[in-house]
Amino acid sequence: MSNLLSGAKILLNCLAAENVDCIFGYPGGVTLPLYDAMYDDPVKHVLVRHEQNAAFAAQGYARATGKVGVCCATSGPGATNLVTGLVDAMMDSIPIVALTGQVSSKLMGSDAFQEADTFGITRSATKHNFLVKNIADLPQVIHEAFYIAASGRPGPVLVDVTKDAFQGQAHYTPVKEIHLPGYRVFSEGHGGQIRRAAQMMWEAERPYIYAGGGIIAANASAELKALAEALDVPVVCTLMGLGGLAAEHRNFVSMPGMHGSYAANMGMSHADLLIALGVRFDDRVTGRLSAFAPHAKVIHVDIDPAEVGKNRQADLPIVGNVKRVLPKLVAELEALAPTMKAKNTAARAAWWKQIRDWKEQHPLTAETSATEIKPQHLMAEIDRLSGGRAIVASDVGQHQMWAAQLIRFNEPRLWINSGGLGSMGFGLPAAIGAQFARPDKLVFAIVGDGGFQMSIPELATIVNHSLPIKIVVMNNGYLGMVRQWQELFYNNRLSEVALSSFPDVEKLAAAYGFKGRTVDSVQEMPSALRDAVNEPGPYLLNVKVAPFENVYPMVPAGGAINEMVLRPPQPVEV
């Protein structure tokens, strides 16, 4: 008979069984039994400086590895501080497990100190959540949480554990299997639909692959490459899908959508077959939905049946895991190739010529200036130093869009950003999680001067663990994307978007014990970036860029994606 263990120790044993090697968290009163058990446990705990950042760091870890990220917070304000991170993970389909403490069972409902209805609050913020009041339920719940987070369409799962469940004593029996009769995962895809899809692909004259974050989540980059090459068609990757096909691959066009390239959006608008893989037809990609891809039939492959037909009706839906479906598609394409491949050779050649012409007409270029640092120039220099192989984490805003446009990602899981929710303050803690996950990688945190000031306390976390993260603040003195919209759509009435009193970063970094520097010279910027990359430890670089630069191309809200504004409005000559 095994010895009795506390609920806290049983939970840690469950985490070990799930191969968890890192937890991002912040302790508090009701999680003290868990933290006491951690004292003698080999699992690595990373003490962040705010619970929201624990969730963001867990996401960075998950996004960089594909493993489930883990974060932990106490009851009440600790748990509620996780909510933004949970919603962010939910929107972007990122697998994390959040462990929260709850007041003792007998105190629940009494408005006890630091009591909050965490289970109720997080119901809509998670893929699933649990409340554990009985120690006997703990092992099964923990393993179910990891299974649900990682399987099917990934997402966040929260486990709220009462203090008495942490403190109770029980025998620990490892869980051998997960049985969730109400939870179904569709993986294989329908064979008949896959055969029909292959037929449609060969018959199309202007086929176009539209690949999203589902490719990254499923680790299906190799399978996407095989499909693109078997069919030899243009490929666009969404903001969440960048790196799904290497930027250097001959079939890669660029990113589509509101700030996508001219070629990517025109291709979407003129394709006669849209092969949508692991995407949800997000409004930032489609623009005005009624005008999106008006000439195209749609093949939609997605693991989540709720997404198929939700925004755009699919002519041929395939519910399944893209990693399992794409090899079957390629096999069917190859089987049909002897009789079908030559069917539309001339039309396909003309289609490729049109794509290349669009790319040449309006390329995504890195603008430079002799007198001020252009944000595009900054991103181009980071791209040159990264070589398409560095991890880049960003917040949301102009810097995010310029990074997505101009930094190449030649591998999956290099581009880590807040896509669906657009959370300011995400980039720095996400970079922390990514650096823990991939200590072998060069990691950039590219942040705005607004988002950076939401996560400054995590500089202490970086220093405590000697993380060699290169923090690049794109400082334009404004909440840049909000200012851009006010300029373009609100008669330039700039209301509460100017950011003054930005800290002296050399002094700020020195206060935490590492190097920092402000750069406002075009000539010094490339060498300053090199110095930051060559520094063995962390580095904080504050780059003062042109304050009124806007992100183009841009599809105005409510516009069709072929109605792009390609450059700033030009003055009218009288």
Cis peptide leading into residue 553 (ω within 30°):
yes
Tokens found for residue 264: 């990517």
Catalytic-residue membership of 163 = yes
Cβ atoms of 144 and 107 within 8 Å: the answer is no
- Compute the half-sphere exposure of residue 441: CA atoms within 13 Å on the CB side of its CA: 26
Displacement of CA 80 from its chain's centroid (Å): 22
- Classify 119 as helix, strand or coil: helix
End-to-end Cα spacing for the chain: 93
Catalytic-residue membership of 51 = yes
Residue of 51, 223, 381, 549 marked active site: 51
Tokens found for residue 570: 């030009």
DSSP code, position 134 = S
Residue of 266, 474, 481, 564 marked active site: 481
**The tokens 């050649």 sit on which residue?**
349
Sign of the CA dihedral 413, 415, 418, 424?
positive
Distance of CA 80 to CAs 69, 121, 294, Å? 18, 8, 43
Among candidates 420, 416, 440, 438, which has minimal Cα distance to 429? 416
Residue of 163, 374, 470, 544 marked active site: 163
Residue of 44, 106, 113, 169 marked active site: 113
Size of the chain in residues:
574
Q: Radius of gyration of the chain from Cα atoms?
A: 25
User: How far is Cα 249 from Cα 252, in angstroms, rounded to an integer?
Assistant: 6
Catalytic-residue membership of 176 = no
**One-letter amino acid for residue 114 of the chain:** Q
User: How far is Cα 424 from Cα 441, in angstroms, rounded to an integer?
Assistant: 24
Which residues are designated catalytic? 51, 113-114, 163, 481
